[in-house]
């Protein structure tokens, strides 16, 4: 407990510091930090308020741990100065409970205590305190520790923000390296990785997997006669049309190469894959893209080959692709603008 003489000496000391540091640069920040002072000693609280406000901080007060928890949730202070020994709820328990509140474990807590024994200091850090100062307070030390803890908290916030932005950039880069630049569906690299992943999954979960290979009929004739710009437009339109034929997140439409597209259908049997392939041919026909140089229609059409591997078979990517490729060959051999399945 502070005596009257102690209090008078403290006030005199603060007045001297005020006159000596009248020209001390204030904190330059667009957001002035808010500090919560928690102390059951009204005199000490007011001295701390006066000192911190002189340092250009905003300050709120609480006279016990219970009130501090309530104010913290209402005001979300940037830092807490917490007396260790208080009635109702001491500083150690208050600090421990703070860690369980939203962002409580990110708010720096400076415990102020007259206890200097090793056990008390260890306990302060165990309950989540960022640092501590002992009574009687050395004001120059308090000043520096407050600044250091606030700077550390600010740097952490900036780092987390930078990490969040970096994560967004990385995710976008991943998307870009997986997307075909022209058609905006998955590219061959993404297709190969996904096929390998899903074939393994199908084998592990004992589920069928299907693959549909689609080829634009007589696309070379289209390109040669309408030009590459129109050819690119045709590829984009067909890719988007094929993409509309799937409705599950696990299904993948990719550009297989040139004018060929692939549809990966995990957990899909032969009948389901045939339905998707037939729907793809119908949607492409409905585009009614003029193709006067096709030998099967006066508009753009596609041929599709469908293959399915079942759980009791050896599910390997190469086998699935070979099977779908053979089915596509049959579709072309039988007149194109149709769907064939490799049984």
Contact between residue 32 and residue 58 where contact means Cβ atoms under 8 Å apart: yes
| Burial class for 314, CB neighbours closer than 10 Å (0-12, 13-18, 19+) | exposed
pLDDT the model gives residue 117: 81
Q: Architecture of 4-160 per CATH?
A: 3-Layer(aba) Sandwich (3.40)
> What's the CA gap between 55 and 47, in Å, rounded?
13
Q: Architecture of 188-341 per CATH?
A: 2-Layer Sandwich (3.30)
Residue 4: band (very low, low, confident or very high) from pLDDT cuts 50, 70, 90: very low
Which of 333, 317, 204, 337 is CA-nearest to residue 262? 317
Residue 180: band (very low, low, confident or very high) from pLDDT cuts 50, 70, 90: very high
Which of 203, 19, 240, 37 is CA-nearest to residue 133? 37
pTM here?
A: 0.59
More confident residue, 94 or 10: 94
More confident residue, 4 or 230: 230
Instruction: Report DSSP letters for 223-266, one per residue.
Output: HHHH-HHHHHHHHHHHHHHHHTT--STT-EEEEEETTEEEEEEE
Mean pLDDT, all residues of the chain: 89
Model pLDDT for residues 252-305, shown as the tens digit of each residue: 999 999 999 999 999 999 999 999 999 999 999 999 999 999 999 999 999 999
| % of the chain beyond a pLDDT of 70 | 90
pLDDT the model gives residue 173: 85
pLDDT the model gives residue 16: 54
Give the CA angle between residues 220, 222, 227 to the nearest 5°. 100
Residue 18: band (very low, low, confident or very high) from pLDDT cuts 50, 70, 90: very low
Is residue 166 predicted with pLDDT exceeding 80?
yes
Is residue 121 predicted with pLDDT exceeding 90?
no
Query: Torsion angle of alpha carbons 140, 144, 146, 151, nearest 10°?
Result: 160
- What integer is the mean pLDDT of 322-341? 96
More confident residue, 173 or 149: 149
pLDDT the model gives residue 177: 86
- What integer is the mean pLDDT of 140-158? 92
pLDDT the model gives residue 154: 92
- What integer is the mean pLDDT of 46-62? 93
Domain ranges of the chain: 4-160, 188-341
Tell me the chain's radius of gyration from C-alpha atoms: 35
Phi, psi (5° rounding) for residue 147?
A: -60, -45
Which of 268, 260, 266 is CA-nearest to residue 305? 260
pLDDT the model gives residue 21: 44
CB atoms within 10 A of CB 180: 20
Is residue 14 predicted with pLDDT exceeding 70?
no
Model pLDDT for residues 184-226, shown as the tens digit of each residue: 999 999 999 999 999 999 988 989 999 999 999 999 999 999 9
Contact between residue 188 and residue 254 where contact means Cβ atoms under 8 Å apart: yes
């Amino acid at each position: 407990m502070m005596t009257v003489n102690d209090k008078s000496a403290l006030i005199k000391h603060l007045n001297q510091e005020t006159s000596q540091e009248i020209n001390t640069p204030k904190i330059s920040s667009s957001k002035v930090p808010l500090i919560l002072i928690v102390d059951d000693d009204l005199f000490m609280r007011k001295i701390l308020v006066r000192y911190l406000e002189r340092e250009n901080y905003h300050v709120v007060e609480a006279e016990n741990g219970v009130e501090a928890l309530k104010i913290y949730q209402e005001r979300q202070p940037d830092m807490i100065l917490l007396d260790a020994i208080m009635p109702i709820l001491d500083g150690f328990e208050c600090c421990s409970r703070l860690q369980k509140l939203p962002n409580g474990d990110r708010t720096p807590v400076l415990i102020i205590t007259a206890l200097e024994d090793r056990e008390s200091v260890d306990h302060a850090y165990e309950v989540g305190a960022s640092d501590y100062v002992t009574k009687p307070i050395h004001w120059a030390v308090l000043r520096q520790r407050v600044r250091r803890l606030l700077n550390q908290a600010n740097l952490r916030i900036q780092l987390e923000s930078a990490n969040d932005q970096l994560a967004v950039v990385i995710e976008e880069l991943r998307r870009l390296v997986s997307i075909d630049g022209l058609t905006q569906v998955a590219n061959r690299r993404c297709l190969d990785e996904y096929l390998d992943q899903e074939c393994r999954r199908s084998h592990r979960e004992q589920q069928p997997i299907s693959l549909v290979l689609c080829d634009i009929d007589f696309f070379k004739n289209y390109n040669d006669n309408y030009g590459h710009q129109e050819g690119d437009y045709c590829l984009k339109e067909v890719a988007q049309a094929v993409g509309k034929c799937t409705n599950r997140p696990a299904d993948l439409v990719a550009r297989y190469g040139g004018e060929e597209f692939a549809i990966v259908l995990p957990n899909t049997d032969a009948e389901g894959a045939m339905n998707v392939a037939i729907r793809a041919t119908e949607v492409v026909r409905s585009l009614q893209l003029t193709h006067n140089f096709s030998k099967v229609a006066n508009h753009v059409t596609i041929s599709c080959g469908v293959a399915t591997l079942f759980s009791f078979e050896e599910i390997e990517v190469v086998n699935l692709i070979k099977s779908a490729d053979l089915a596509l060959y049959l579709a072309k051999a039988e007149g194109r603008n149709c769907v064939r399945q490799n049984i």
